[in-house]
Structure 1
């Protein structure tokens, strides 16, 4: 019981530190993300921060991992609330809807962290394992794997455009594109 309480406390502290790091990036910039700034934002000592994240790269990796875990949670929620559970394409439809539910704060954080990841691509290694699992689920969702991949690439492209504010779609075109992707994920061969 005591071990569980300590584990929960560590997890809560780690989460609070990641929230503080997110705030530093969002309020200032990724360049302002220092261990000192995060410790100050979180109201902990630098030693307390170093206990959970031994360096800045570990902190950034933690932020990236948290973004992926948040997406995984949304993905499961969308899978569970699918209007046609157990039908082919359910996982693909969940992926489309989960991608669309990305929070503005998460989008801003991803955009900011992209500069760091560009110079240190090793930080994305944990994401690649998730990406592989998502791809496998897309390809085995019960619809044509090529169609599932096209849907994923299209929704990822829309997400990318909105994240980096590149050629975003106006309404009603955006809704029509999303509806078409969801319809493609509903079609059976």
Structure 2
């Protein structure tokens, strides 16, 4: 097998393991995440798993970082597809739309991971903090009033968290109205 094929196979196995770890967390909780459970879910040997991830913490860190990267990619895609490119609020609209379109699986995974927030590996917490700082800086320099941009961010984050934790989730009609209102706020003159 050529070097390129080996690299692709390793990458595919790594992705399969991350998906398996995420599924174990979603289905059974973080406490059920073991190397054996992930290897079995992925149909990969434990040695194959250990080749990619040295321990449970490495799995958790990588699953969390993958979620952050997926959200970042969704943000970039929404930014590029904005209906009013180059206008104030473009990045904030992308943030609202990305958060609003987060999959139910991702919400469930985040909710499950938050159960170990206090014990979460510092590497993952640092990654979350770095992404959050970058996103907040972009919101504040998006051409909107920084207070207004922060209010929009906090509102969509609140909606996101209510759905992740299934607490005070608004009816679909109200949810749509909330998102539309937040998007309208990104277009308001200052």
**TM-score, normalised by the number of residues in structure 1:** 0.93
| 2:102 matched residue in structure 1 | 102
Alignment of 1:111 onto 2:111: yes
| 2:13 matched residue in structure 1 | 13
| 2:84 matched residue in structure 1 | 84
Q: Structure 1, residues 102-152: CA drift from partner, whole Å, max 9, x if none?
A: 000111111111112232362321111111111111111111111111110
Distance 2:121 2:53 in 1: 19
| 2:141 matched residue in structure 1 | 140
**More off after superposition, 82-91 vs 171-180:** 171-180
> SS of the counterpart of 1:168?
coil
| 2:182 matched residue in structure 1 | 181
Distance 2:115 2:173 in 1: 32
Distance 1:161 1:121 in 2: 24
Distance 2:172 2:25 in 1: 30
Alignment of 1:71 onto 2:75: no
Instruction: Measure how far apart 1:3 and its partner are.
Output: 4.5
> SS of the counterpart of 1:65?
helix
**More off after superposition, 115-124 vs 104-113:** 115-124
Q: Give structure 1 stretches of 5+ with no counterpart.
A: none
**More off after superposition, 10-19 vs 84-93:** 10-19
| 1:53 matched residue in structure 2 | 53
Distance 1:36 1:121 in 2: 20
**More off after superposition, 78-87 vs 110-119:** 110-119
Say if 1:88 and 1:188, in contact at 8 Å, map to a contact too. no
Q: How does 1:121-160 map to 2 (within 5 A)?
A: 122=122, 123-160=124-161
Distance 2:28 2:165 in 1: 18
Distance 2:149 2:7 in 1: 39
| 1:25 matched residue in structure 2 | 25
Instruction: Measure how far apart 1:27 and its partner are.
Output: 2.4
> SS of the counterpart of 1:54?
coil
Instruction: Measure how far apart 1:175 and its partner are.
Output: 1.7
Distance 1:140 1:4 in 2: 41
Instruction: Measure how far apart 1:181 and its partner are.
Output: 0.8
**More off after superposition, 165-174 vs 63-72:** 165-174
Say if 1:161 and 1:168, in contact at 8 Å, map to a contact too. yes
**More off after superposition, 93-102 vs 121-130:** 121-130
Distance 1:120 1:30 in 2: 11
Distance 1:45 1:92 in 2: 44
